[in-house]
Structure 1
Amino acid sequence: MSRLFYTLIFYLGLPLIVLRLLYRAWKAPAYAKRWSERFGFFTGPSDSQKSIWVHTVSVGESIAAAPLVRKLMEACPDHRIVVTTMTPTGSEQVKKLYGDSMFHVYAPYDLPGSVSRFLNKIQPELAIFMETELWPNTVAACHKRNIPTLLTNARLSERSARGYQRISSLSRNMLTKLSFIAAQTEDDARRFTELGFPKARMKVTGTLKYDIAVSQELRTEGQSLRVQWLSGRPEHARIFIAASTHKGEDEQVIEAFQSVRDSLPDTLLILVPRHPERFNPVYEQLSGGGLQVSRRSTNDPVTPETDVLLGDTMGELMRMFAASDIAFVGGSLVEHGGHNPLEPAALGLPTIMGPHVFNFAEVVQTMEQAGALATVHTAAGLARQTAYLLADREACLEVGKAATEVMDRNRGALDQQLMLSMALLDK
C-alpha cells in the first residue's frame, strides 16, 4: 500500500471517524470537546521559543513518558516541551502530571493538512513518539522538514508486527524515515529490523517503565488512605486492588473476590475500570449484585460494611496501589494484551495477571522468573492466588520484595533515552 492510497482511505473514512467520536462522546462526554485540535486548528504558543514534541497516546504512555519529559525539561530549559495525546483520559493525565508548565493539545489526525497545521504552530526541533505510536503522514512530514524523530521506549508485539507486515510497503517506507529507535527488548528490535528498519539506527535501551519514581509523598498519601479505608476493621484486614479492568473481566474479579471473602471476610476490594465510560455500568453491576459499594468520585465513606471501593477517578491509581496489599492488573484475563504490571511493582506489591499479556510479554516473563508475579487463567485461579497471598503475610512480603528488586535491577533506560534525545537534538 502506498502512502497516497493510505491517505485517500483515511479521507474517505473521516465520516466513520466522526461517527466513532460521537459514539464515544455518548459514553464519555469529554470526547465531544476540542475536535478542532484533532485537525490541527488550535491557538499555538504566542512566542517563538524552540520546542520538543513528545507524543503519547493515553494514560499509560503519558505516565511512562513522564520521567523522560521531566529530564528533558531540566536538560533543555530553553525549549518548550509540547506533549500530545489522543484520548481525553490521556489529556487529563498530562494536566495532572505537569499543570500549567506544559503546552498540551491533542495530536492531529494523520492527514497531510492536519499534520502541517500542527507542525507550523509548534515548530518542533525534535519529535519523540512513545512505544508504537507511528503514523505514516506524520513521520513523512517531519522527515520532509528535517525534524529528527525518535521512537522511544519502542515495543512491537508479534501481533502488531504481523499487522505491519501485511502493509509492508507502507510500514517500511515509514520506518526508514525515522531517525532512531530506542527499543525496549532484543525481540522488539528484531521485529523492527525484520520490517526493514536499519540496525545501525537502533539501540536496545530497556523500558522507561522500570524508571518509575515513587515519591515518599505518594507513599504517605497511600498509607493515609489505607488507614482511612480500613478503619473499624480487624487489624488483619487486607486490601486487594484490581486495576485497569475491561468488560468481561469485572465479572471474573467479582467472582474471585466473593470466593476470597469466604475465608477472609474483612478483605476490601478496590476495583478500577480502565475506561471512564465504564464507571457507571460497573457501579450498577456491583450494586445490582448485592455488594455494598462506595464510589471514590463522590467521596462515599468506606465503612466496615463496604465490600468494594469503586476507583472511578482519574490520576489516583498509584495512590490506590500504595494503599493496597496485592494487585491484579487487568486487560489480561480477556484478550487485550494486559496493562503495566510495573506500576504496582514500583510500590513493592505482589502482582497477579491473566494469560493475555502480549503488550508486556518481556516484562511479565522477567517478573515471573523473579517470583514477583503470578499468572492465573480463571476466576478460580485468581481467587486461590489472592487468598494465598492475603492469608500468608510473610509470603506476601517476600513476593513484594522480589518486585522491588526487579525494578532496581532493570533501571537505566531513562538515562540512555535522554542521551539519544539530546544527540538527535544537537544534530
Structure 2
Amino acid sequence: MVRTTRGGSRTVKGRYLRLAATGAALSLTAAALTGCGTVASLTGDNEVTLRVVAADYGDNPQNSSAGYWKDLAAGFRKDHPGVKVEVSIYSWSEVDAKVAEMVKAGKAPDIAQIGAYADYAAAGKLYTAEELLSVSTEADFLAPLADAGKIRRVQYGMPFVASTRLLFYNEKLLTDAGVLPKDAKGGWQPKSWADLEAAAKKLKAAGVATPFALPLGREEAQAETMMWMLAGGGGYTDNEEAYAIDSPDNVKTFEFLRDKMVGQGLTGALEPAKTDRQTAFDAFTRGEVGMLNGHPTLLKQAAEKGVKFGMVAMPTEDGTEHPTMGVADWVMAFKNGHRKESGKFLDYLYEAKNVTAFTNKYDLLPVTTTGYRAMDASTGGPATQLKTFLQALPNARLYPVGKKSWAGVSEDVKQNIGKTVQPGGQPAKVLDDIAEKARKADAQ
C-alpha cells in the first residue's frame, strides 16, 4: 500500500511515496533473477558490472517491481553489451537500511533507488547529476523535482517517481447532504476553507460519521500537515529555504483546524492525533467519510469498493490559488569508479518509454517533461484518472528533502503535530517547539 513529490525554481519542500512491499528481497540480472551479487566490479577484460539497489513498489509477488527492473536491465544490455546490470529489490520497509548497511561496510551499490539522498551527498559519496547524465536527460526533469534534488544548487538526487495530493469527496454523501446538487454535472468546486467548513456542517447534519477525515497520526502526519500549511499560505520552509514551521500563517492554519474543524465536531469521533492515513482511506471506501486529502492509490481503493467520488484541488484559506503538495522518491549514484557506465544506465532509465512503463504500472506520476507529455497525451487506462494529479505536478512543492535534518524534523512532526488540534491545544507553542529543534538540527 502506498505511504504517501511546488512551485518556483528554488524552493524545496517533499517526499512521500512509500508503497509497502511484502516478501524477501529479490535480485535480478539482465537475464533473470539471481542472488544478490557482488559490489560493482570488472568481470572479464572489458565488461563492467553495475550493482543497483531498488525499492519494491508492489504489494504482492505478482506485481513486484522485480519484473520492471528485469526488463529494463535486459533492454539496456542489448544496447550496451559491455555492461552487465545486477539489481537487488527490497521492500520499502528495509531498502533504506540495506543501502545504509552497504555504505557503512564500504560496499555501496553503484546506483540506489531509495527514499533520501541528502546524507550521502553531504558526505561526498555521490556523483552529481551533471557528472552522470546527458544534457538532454538532465534538462528533462520537471523543475520543482530537479530543485528538490539539489544541495547548495547542485543536483545529487534524481527524482524517480512522483505524486501529488488532491481533495477527495464522496459524491453520494455530498449530494444527499445538499452540498452537491443532484443534477450537477461539473462536480463540486470548493475554493476556500469557508466552503469546506460549510460542506462539513451539512454532512454532519445529514448524519455522516466523519464529514472530514483529518489523519494526523504517525503514518503520514507530516504529509497532512504540509498540505494544510500550503493551503494556508505557509509551509515547512520560506523562500530562502530556511525552516519557517512557526510562521504566523502556519499558526493560523492549525487554529482553524482546532476551532472550526475539530472543535465543531466536523472530523468525526476519531482523534486526529491517533488517526493514520490508511485508517481514513479505509473509512472513505466504506462510505463513512465525506471528504479527505488523498493520493493516487485511493483511486483504486475507492473504485474497488464501488464508491463514486470526485477530486478537486485543496481549498485554500482565502480562496486564492496556492501550490499543492508533491512527493518523490530518489535515484543516486555512488562514487564507485563507474561514473560513465552508471550515467549511461540512468540515461536509459529516464527514457520516456521506461518512465511511463513504471508510472502506469503503479498509478504514479512521471518526473520528466517527456514522460509528463506522454501521459498527458494518452487516453484510457490509468493515465486518464491520473491526469488531475498530473496537472498539479509542475507547480507542486516538496518536503525539504535536501536538508540532512529533514528526517528528524519529520519524526518530530509525526509525534507532536496532533497536539495542535486537541481541545485546548496551543498551535503556536507546538509549532515553535518543532521549529526550534529543526533550526538547531539544520545548523549542525
With the shorter chain as reference, the TM-score category is 0.3 to 0.5
**TM-score after normalising by structure 2:** 0.31
**TM-score after normalising by structure 1:** 0.32
More helix by share: 1
